[in-house]
Amino acid sequence: MESSIFSWEAATLWLRLHFLETLSGRASRDGSQPPPSAWRQTTVLMRLLKAALIYFAIVFGAGFVLGPIRILLLVPRFGVRTAELIEMPFMLLVMIVASRWIVRRFAQDSSVLSRLILGFVALILMISTELWMARILQGVSISQYIAARDPVSGTAYYGMLILFALLPAFVQMDR
């Protein structure tokens, strides 16, 4: 073992602490320097991504709960088309409530463009998760899944997906 004044452990610890101070916006000990603009932009981006993930999770979770109810109770009585159309107003209500809450909680001070980005990131999550689940649970390809959609309820469903993406940008915010 070699003894010296320089220690790699101390150097890495100092670098880590200095890096964390820089990220937290305290580049100097007295706090006189503001956080870098890149850090602020990263914070805004992360807040929007978090909001999009939560928005997706709320709406997807509601669909995950309503789906078995639709399949087990409504489809045998009314058929697939009518059961899907009956479910849509409930999903629309969930989307409206979730988007209002998300905007109020995470994106109240953001522009319409950033809320559109929030909605479209949530849409990408929704579509990719749905296609992945169709592949895993039903064992069908993407083209088979899309082709198997009912023309009436499928068109209404695609309209609901577009509305899902647009709602965060256009919900009325309480000020």
Q: Among all chains, which residue has been given the structure tokens 């870098």? A: 36
| Alpha-carbon dihedral 107, 122, 154, 62, rounded to 10 degrees | -80
Model pTM? 0.75
List phi, psi (to 5°) of 28: -125, 160
- pLDDT tens string, the chain, 175 residues long: the values are 455 555 566 665 555 555 545 444 444 445 555 555 655 666 778 888 999 999 999 999 999 999 999 999 999 999 999 999 999 999 999 999 999 999 998 876 678 888 999 999 999 999 999 999 999 988 999 999 999 999 999 999 999 999 999 999 998 665 5
* Contact (Cβ atoms closer than 8 angstroms) between residue 87 and residue 140: no
The answer for residues whose C-beta is within 8 angstroms of residue 164's C-beta and 6 or more apart is 59, 95, 119, 122, 123, 126
Do 66 and 91 touch, CB atoms closer than 8 A?
yes
* CB distance 173 to 104 below 8 Å: yes
Specify the residue for token string 């100092």.
14
Structure-derived torsion over alpha carbons of residues 65, 122, 102, 170, reported in degrees to the nearest 10: -110
